[in-house]
Amino acid sequence: MTLPLSICEEILASAGFEGLSDATESSHKKRLRVIRDQMRELSSDFAEGISSESRYSMAYFLYNFPLNFMKTLYVFGEISIRRPDFLTPRQRYRILDIGCGEGAGMYGAYYALKSLDGSGNTRLNGIDGSRKMLERARDMAARLRRRGEDLTAGFANRDLTDIRNALPRKRYDIIICSNSLAEIIREETLPNKYIGILLGHLCENGILVIIEPALKKYARRLMQLRDDLVKHKAAQVILPCLHREKCSLLKIDSRDEWCHESVAWKPPAFLRILNKGLNREIDTLKFTYLVIARTKSQHVLPEGYRVISGLLKEKGRMRIFLCTERGRVELVRLNRSKSGKNLLFGRIHKGDLIKLHDIVVRNPDYWEVNFQTVVEIL
Ligand SMILES: C[S@@+](CC[C@H](N)C(=O)[O-])C[C@H]1O[C@@H](n2cnc3c(N)ncnc32)[C@H](O)[C@@H]1O
């Protein structure tokens, strides 16, 4: 996965870093130092629960915008592969981005939809409490339109704490909350009422996409929201979960488990340059997400199991953890059981969907891949 070239160029142009590359880096030395300092400030503020992206908006734009854009692109890719029934072509997509900031979520969705049916034709609406962030979002819309992108965008400066009064009386095909609920709602749980109001602004077959930082607190409250929705049959959770039973990680008493994604991608050169001296793990997108459909339809769930850990390689064996409707399962392949049929076990990544035939169930939560087991990555 890579950042679209047009987005890459417009980020650099908007930030006054046109043509930034390894060869030209030294001529931007002073400003790069300022941006890196701001990135440090942003991280330490984030760790303390302070929202300072508006204050350090240039650093946020250069660093977080591309990452958050890519996370949205990935999630929409997953929807289109696993649940295409929710992204059927429409005359025009109406998208609402809650806490849109500079628009990473809405523009990520726009690019994802464009790659699906080639046309784009999207009405984007963003709401945010920061004028500075909205200015950047507006600027990006103008830039993309000048490039011929088929989008219109409208923005509103509102406080989203009072969600009922902040939303226009309209319905949308897609509502996105990209890294914004973490700031708008500080409580330990996401109020069902708040989410209910968002769902109430979706059209038939519309979806609510929530992406949050990969931190235990935010992941666990999304997991809890998911379980509440499933329990009360209030809406349909369509991803990343593949079953409608209790969350397999919430069932574990230790309360240490949390579901999140780690997706590899190829960051553009400018991010590598920015990252010099900061040494962040920029080639992995880490986040937690939930896609919720308003309609309680009878869509068939995708087959298979979701892999919820990395591949753990140990002496004499490899293992992973799976999310199943009965709970979390440890799946092990001893090295001596490796065969042509289960060869793909060694290539499994976190987040994959896998299918198993002829598995050996040693315990309800401990399964083994033997010589005969067929492993498929879907
Ligand atoms: C971490 S940023 C995420 C921005 C963007 N969605 C993204 O993915 O990059 C959170 C955004 O939420 C906005 N925000 C936080 N609390 C808000 C509130 N109560 N009302 C409106 N906007 C709020 C901030 O101004 C900021 O732009």
Encode pLDDT of 7-66 as tens digits. Answer: 999 999 999 999 899 999 999 999 999 999 999 999 999 889 888 988 998 999 999 999
The closest of 22, 7, 16, 73 to 270, measured between CA atoms, is: 22
Copy the structure tokens of residue 91. Answer: 């005359």
Distances (CA, A) of 243 to 50, 55, 287, 327: 36, 42, 21, 10
Encode pLDDT of 279-307 as tens digits. Answer: 999 999 999 999 999 887 666 777 899 99
Encode pLDDT of 239-289 as tens digits. Answer: 999 998 999 999 898 888 999 999 999 999 999 999 999 999 999 999 999
Measured in Å, residue 271 CA sits from the centre of ligand 1 at 22
How many CA atoms does the CB half-sphere of 72 hold within 13 Å?
Answer: 31
CATH fold of the domain at 5-293 = Rossmann fold (3.40.50)
On the question of a common fold for 5-293 and 305-377, the answer reads: no
Residues β-bridged to residue 318 = 313, 333
For the CA atoms of 198, 201, 205, 211, what is the dihedral angle to 10 degrees? Answer: -30
Strand duo 366-369 + 312-314: pairing:
unpaired
Is residue 66 lining ligand 1, measured as CB closer than 6 Å? no
Instruction: Pick from 124, 128, 187, 286 the residue to mutate for probing ligand 1's pocket: most ligand atoms within 8 Å of its CB.
Output: 128
For the CA of 158, the closest atom of ligand 1 is 21
Is residue 128 lining ligand 1, measured as CB closer than 6 Å? yes
Domain locations along the chain: 5-293, 305-377
pTM of the predicted structure, to 2 decimals: 0.95
Instruction: Pick from 183, 186, 209 the residue to mutate for probing ligand 1's pocket: most ligand atoms within 8 Å of its CB.
Output: 183
Is residue 68 lining ligand 1, measured as CB closer than 6 Å? yes
Which class would CATH give 305-377?
A: mainly beta
Q: CA-to-CA distance for 106 and 113, rounded, in angstroms?
A: 10
